[in-house]
Structure 1
């Protein structure tokens, strides 16, 4: 997550010497926020299921891997209105839920599975709060624990659904992971479980 970003754009034209007065444009853009926030996930954000044997996979239904929990902390310079979302770095490979995160594909381009994330037991500035989500860019909100690339997640007071400004957030990220039915996968060689997602902070 970058607090101050620069976008440098331009076009270089190759012209004969007679047209030496040709020019190009340079555009510098960015947003300076009043306070910056940094997200951190425990364990470096790595969940390693090790080797999963083919014989342990369901033949015709999805196989649930053991559920894992990580800790998420967000620290801001001061009270800040922000949302969280994810970027699925394996886009298009989610096998069962469009809002979950893909686990890559086999050599035959078969979807290995997917993983869903949820935020639980959120505490903001040492006070218990609730998580809320929006599917329309923050126009409307509803109580939900989802953390996804398809929606925005914020925190609110326990009796409300309006985002609040906070400086510190601590919560559990609970991970649900499914492997596709064995009959849908070519498993003659080892297949990596290759999920990768980025947690992103957005300022309201």
Structure 2
């Protein structure tokens, strides 16, 4: 009887230890952030719309891309006070461009890439003072001089003497240059009307 009792007690102790071990398997969730006192509002001239109108398929190149327009929009970012910000873009037609550094114009028949456009920042002015455009892959560090605004890239502005550090702004003005091209047409079905369908979202990010 004693041996049976000891064995039962040992089994119960092992079961309790095993239960305690599983109960101690935990993971922590931390929620952090920062509330900034100032809000910033971006805007684009012409309502952010570039309309190329109707283009004849016969006017497009069969063996190389055709540039159909070079446009410049004015981008304004107004903040309630001096604020450290970046701008990030998202291609809403992702996958329809032939390059990851350009923005797509949509697909023909679900597979044929119609064309692309790229964005370039020029003549940035922060609170009346000329600045230079800089970029970062993560919006946190490793800033470098850059004019071309690739999809997902963080863009900000820096003092003319220090391109490695963004500066806070209250009013930012810049030229947003948009160059649009249609891909070579020997691989496109243009037997019917095709909508040029480029779309991107430009967002203010608070640093």
Band the TM-score falls in, shorter-chain normalisation: 0.7 to 0.9
Q: How much has 1:164 moved relative to structure 2?
A: 0.3
C-alpha distance in structure 2 between counterparts of 1:108 and 1:117, whole Å: 25
Q: How much has 1:144 moved relative to structure 2?
A: 0.9
Partner of 1:144: 146
C-alpha distance in structure 2 between counterparts of 1:168 and 1:127, whole Å: 10
Q: How much has 1:195 moved relative to structure 2?
A: 0.1
Structure 1 unmatched ranges of 5 or more? 1-27
Q: What TM-score, normalized by structure 1, do the two folds share?
A: 0.82
Partner of 1:159: 161
Q: What TM-score, normalized by structure 2, do the two folds share?
A: 0.81
Question: Is the Cα contact below 8 Å between 1:135 and 1:151 reproduced in 2?
Answer: yes
Q: How much has 1:29 moved relative to structure 2?
A: 9.5
The residue correspondences of 1:49-128 to structure 2 (distance < 5 A) are 49-95=52-98, 97-128=99-130
C-alpha distance in structure 1 between counterparts of 2:141 and 2:70, whole Å: 33
Q: Which runs of 4+ in 1 moved over 6 A?
A: none
Q: How well do the aligned residues superpose, as a CA RMSD in angstroms?
A: 1.6
Structure 2 unmatched ranges of 5 or more? 1-30
C-alpha distance in structure 2 between counterparts of 1:77 and 1:32, whole Å: 14
Partner of 1:36: 39
The total of aligned residue pairs comes to: 176
Note the alpha carbon deviations across 1:18-56, whole angstroms, 9 max, x for none: xxxxxxxxxx99863221101000010000000111111
Partner of 1:7: none
Q: How much has 1:160 moved relative to structure 2?
A: 1.0
Question: Is the Cα contact below 8 Å between 1:108 and 1:186 reproduced in 2?
Answer: no
Question: Is the Cα contact below 8 Å between 1:66 and 1:177 reproduced in 2?
Answer: yes
